[in-house]
Amino acid sequence: MRLHALLLKNNMRYLFIPATLIGLLLSPSTQAMDVLTVYQQAVNSDPILRSAQLQTEVSEAQRGQAGGALLPQINANINLSLNQQSATLGTDDYNGQSYTVGLTQSIIDVAKILNWQRHQTIVDQYQASQEDAQQELMHKVIERYFKILEASDSLVLIQQERQSTTSQLEQAHKQFQKQRIKITDVYELEAKQDLLSAEEIGAQAQLDSVHQQLFELTGETVIVDYRLQNTLNLDRLEGEIEDWVTQALVMHPGLIAQTHAVKAAEEQVWQQHAQHLPVVEGQLNYYNTNTGFQNAQRPVIDTQVAALNIRIPLFAGGATMQGGNEASRKLDIAKQQQIALQRTVSMETRDAFLNCNAGSHRIRATEKALLSSLKAREAMEKGFTYGMHTVGDVLISQDREFRAQRDLLVAKYDYIKYYARFARSTGVLNDAFLIEINKWLISQP
């Protein structure tokens, strides 16, 4: 009860929101490319999700075929012939007609019943796989969208530092002409400016690269004009890690799909064993014909037959036994895949939980470091004005400030990355979660 209450408390904010709500949020007047808009584009164009949907439809069709084998099978046969019969007394020409209608109904066929049940389980498996594909797509959209924001913010930060350095270099040239500073101070600023120019090129290339990653999901060029809110509170996750792992092993759609796969494999084993059992069928047949053996002419005869057929499999060359062995090996494979996936989900849940909470503390620490470096830089610049510090000292203090700004950016985006992974592994990555993430953004032309 304690675990159930804890999970319920922690998941109240992740309650499912119907897709129609997202549709309302994505009205035609909404032009900004936020996470919701990009996700909707990805849903409409992602081939992997579409393939998962089609696979579900295929499994439903296969279930219908398996169920159809349990229903009455009705066949009709019509034979019309032109006959010429020659005998000692002469030749006789006549038209032959034969009509047959037959109905067959399985009464006892355990193999067919188990086959239908197995296909029902397979439908459940692919429905869970479709949900897993949808959550994976949502996770990719979130991760790649925020990669763009991170790359964009990093580029802006480098550009700001380069512009600041350029301004300082201009002042340094003037001060050198007045012989207030040494030429080495000018060289240090020039070297820093060249280094920042190189970093800017790399940052721009990284931004272009992550845009292409998002293009892979949407098939369209995405223009991101949103930024992460500066006042966002990225708190640590609540609850115990073992409770979250337990939830992940129950709610992860990939594990749910694999559980159904194991069940379907078990049912296939029983289906193969059932091939040894007798099969009982009921038959109703109607015959109407005016021909007999070798289409010999005879008076029209109507025949109605009701029969009970019992088929007892005795020997099929070992094929039935080998089919059972194959099904058993497939069951073992499915179980091993389930164990591997359970371990992966457990590891990912623990890793995301720990890194997310560590990231929350890291954000607080880097915020303090940024404030300290800002004060140190201001003091260093003031000391340089009075000749107490060199240009090199000022550059070092500025580097520390910009490094603290970068560290804060990285800490925030790492937190979001692990937060999304945590939601993915615990099976709560849904529309409500996406709406929550979208609220973290602010429009910035």
Q: Could you state, in order of their start, the residue ranges of all structural domains in the chain? A: 50-70+109-211+229-276+318-429, 73-107+278-312
- Alpha-carbon distance of 125 to 34, in angstroms, equals 32
> Given pLDDT bands bounded at 50, 70 and 90, which one contains residue 387?
low
Quote the distance between the C-alpha of residue 13 and its chain's center.
21
Radius of gyration for the alpha carbons in the chain, expressed in angstroms and rounded? 37
DSSP state of 399: H
When mean pLDDT is compared across 103-117, 219-233, 358-372, the lowest value belongs to: 219-233
Structure tokens at 162: 């380069």
Adjacency order of strands within the sheet including 73-87? 73-87, 90-108, 279-291, 297-311
Residue 445 has pLDDT above 50, yes or no: yes
- Alpha-carbon distance of 212 to 70, in angstroms, equals 51
String of DSSP letters for 237-292:
PPS-HHHHHHHHHHH-HHHHHHHHHHHHHHHHHHHHHHTTS-EEEEEEEEEEEEE-
Q: Per-residue pLDDT tens for 147-197?
A: 999 999 999 989 988 888 887 778 778 777 777 667 877 788 788 888 888
Q: What is the number of residues in the chain?
A: 445
Number of H helices, E strands in the chain: 11, 6
When mean pLDDT is compared across 103-107, 108-112, 116-120, 181-185, the lowest value belongs to: 181-185
Burial 3-20 (b: 16+ CB within 10 A, else e): eeebbeebbeebeebeee
Span 126-145, average pLDDT = 95
More confident: 148 or 27: 148
Span 213-232, average pLDDT = 86
* pTM of the shown model: 0.80
Burial 211-226 (b: 16+ CB within 10 A, else e): beebeebbeeebebeb
Residue-level pLDDT at 180: 67
Residue-level pLDDT at 78: 93
Structure tokens at 213: 């990653």
Instruction: Output the average pLDDT for the chain.
Output: 85
When mean pLDDT is compared across 9-18, 102-111, 349-358, 421-430, the lowest value belongs to: 9-18
String of DSSP letters for 133-190:
HHHHHHHHHHHHHHHHHHHHHHHHHHHHHHHHHHHHHHHHHHHHHTTSS-HHHHHHHH
Q: Are 213 and 222 in contact (CB under 8 A)?
A: no
When mean pLDDT is compared across 108-112, 121-125, 381-385, the lowest value belongs to: 381-385
> Given pLDDT bands bounded at 50, 70 and 90, which one contains residue 20?
very low
Q: Per-residue pLDDT tens for 322-351?
A: 989 999 999 999 999 999 999 999 999 999
- Count of Cβ atoms closer than 10 Å to residue 107 Cβ: 11
- Alpha-carbon distance of 91 to 246, in angstroms, equals 88
Q: Are 106 and 66 in contact (CB under 8 A)?
A: no
Q: Per-residue pLDDT tens for 267-314?
A: 999 999 998 999 999 999 999 998 877 777 788 888 899 999 999 998
- 434: exposed, middle or buried (Cβ count in 10 Å: 0-12, 13-18, 19+): buried
Q: 50-70+109-211+229-276+318-429: which CATH architecture?
A: Up-down Bundle (1.20)
Residue 24 has pLDDT above 80, yes or no: no
